[in-house]
């Protein structure tokens, strides 16, 4: 379903008009070839903001033949982490009684881009001019995604910017960031969308426009490892990049292959019992 279906629901208690509830998990649009051509307004997924360049046609107009779709694994990992948080022994009885699925998901999202270090983002070519610098209760989608993930959205390029998220390369903001902000990442919208779909901090490299500032990338890796010493007690499944708010520090292909294999093995074991 589309987000607006849930945002306009009568039981949406977020208090944010036009925005979906915190316990809604948005997933990457996927369309199976045999279902193509059938019109179903209740199953319209809308635009896929992760598409690069000008390819922002409705996802229903495209056929996804990729066999490396990771959304089910991302969702399984989100539910796993959510379960662990609710039943964590670190929570007191009172805290657990107050905990809800929406509140836990909200905190999980907020931690994603809030630390190691906090992402400070500038958008380029993604927000219509008539919605820029306008006080409105309904935030543009990309602004809402970034802020809910813990990032700070800045109106213009400055020395503190860490990421420029853009629809395409070559804008004035991108040129300014490359020449004036050392170590700033220039990424497609697909990076932000993968962070939102997986509630995890994704590797910038597959989404980067132009050469990646490797020194900055290595520095963030080193800093995150020093700060995340407590994570050594996590299980092997929780140590991969899928396991939450860790920075861009592992190979997506190897990590996700391991996670897929472990998940399949566990499901097969449960099925035999």
pLDDT on residue 137: 67
Site of tokens 């500038």 = 122
Residue 241: pLDDT above 50? no
Residues 146-202: tens digit of each pLDDT: 999 999 999 999 999 999 999 999 999 999 999 999 999 999 999 999 999 999 999
Rounded CA-CA distance 212/120 in Å is: 17
pLDDT higher than 70, residue 210: yes
Query: Are 165 and 173 contacting, i.e. CB atoms less than 8 angstroms apart?
Result: no
pLDDT in tens, 216-235: 554 555 444 444 444 444 43
Residue 102 has pLDDT above 50, yes or no: yes
What CA–CA distances, in Å, run from 104 to 21, 87, 118, 136, 228? 12, 11, 20, 26, 20
pLDDT at residue 43 in the model = 53
State the pLDDT at residue 248. Answer: 38
Number of helices (H) and strands (E), helices first, in the chain? 9, 4
Report the pLDDT value the prediction gives residue 134, as an integer from 0 to 100.
59
- Identify the pLDDT of residue 237: 37
Determine the Cα–Cα distance for residues 96 and 19; give it in Å rounded to an integer.
26
Given this model, what pLDDT does residue 41 score? 53
Whole-number Å distance between alpha carbons of 252 and 248: 9
119 has a pLDDT exceeding 80: yes
**Beta carbons within 10 angstroms of residue 101's beta carbon:** 12
* Cis peptide bond prior to 117, omega within 30° of 0: yes
Q: What number is the average pLDDT over the span 9-23?
A: 77
| The pTM of the whole model exceeds 0.75 | no
Burial 205-235, CB ≥16 within 10 A → b, else e: eebbbeebbeeebeebeeebeeebeeeeeee
pLDDT at 123: 95
Token digits of residue 178:
């490359």
More reliable by pLDDT, 95 or 62: 95
In 81-202, beta strands by DSSP E: 120-124, 152-153, 163-166, 185-188
The mean pLDDT of the chain is 75
Contacts of 103 (CB under 8 A, 6+ apart): 22
| Average pLDDT rounded to a whole number, residues 121-126 | 94
Q: What token pair was written down for 31?
A: 């369309």
Handedness of CA 231, 233, 239, 243 (dihedral sign): negative
pLDDT in tens, 33-64: 666 666 555 555 555 666 655 444 444 344 44
Quick one: pLDDT at residue 57?
40
Q: Check: CB of residue 200 under 8 Å from CB of residue 189.
A: no
How far are the Cα atoms of 161, 193, 195, 206, 254 from residue 198, in angstroms, in the given order? Answer: 23, 8, 5, 16, 17
């Amino acid at each position: 379903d589309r987000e607006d279906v849930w945002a306009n629901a009568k039981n949406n208690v977020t208090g944010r008009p036009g925005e979906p509830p915190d316990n809604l998990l948005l997933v990457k649009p996927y369309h199976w070839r045999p279902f193509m051509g059938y019109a179903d307004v209740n199953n319209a997924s809308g635009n896929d903001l992760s598409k690069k360049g000008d390819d922002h046609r409705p996802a229903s107009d495209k056929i996804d033949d990729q066999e490396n779709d990771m959304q089910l694994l991302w969702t399984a990992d989100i539910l796993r982490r959510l379960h662990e948080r609710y039943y964590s022994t670190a929570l007191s009885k009172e805290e657990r009684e107050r905990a809800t699925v929406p509140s836990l998901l909200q905190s999980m999202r907020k931690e994603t881009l809030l630390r190691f270090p906090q992402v400070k983002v500038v958008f380029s070519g993604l927000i219509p001019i008539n919605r820029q610098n306008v006080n409105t209760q309904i935030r543009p989608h990309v602004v809402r995604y970034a802020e809910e993930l813990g990032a700070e959205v800045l109106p213009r390029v400055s020395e503190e910017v860490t990421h420029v998220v853009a629809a395409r390369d070559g804008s004035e903001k991108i040129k300014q960031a490359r020449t004036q902000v050392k170590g700033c990442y220039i990424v497609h919208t697909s990076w932000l969308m993968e962070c939102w779909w997986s509630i995890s901090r994704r590797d910038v490299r597959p989404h980067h426009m132009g050469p990646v500032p490797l020194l900055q990338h290595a520095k963030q890796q080193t800093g995150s490892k020093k700060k995340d010493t407590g994570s050594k007690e996590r299980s092997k499944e929780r140590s991969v990049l899928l396991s939450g708010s860790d920075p861009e520090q592992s190979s997506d292909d190897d990590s996700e292959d391991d996670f897929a294999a472990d998940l399949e093995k566990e499901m097969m074991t449960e099925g035999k019992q």
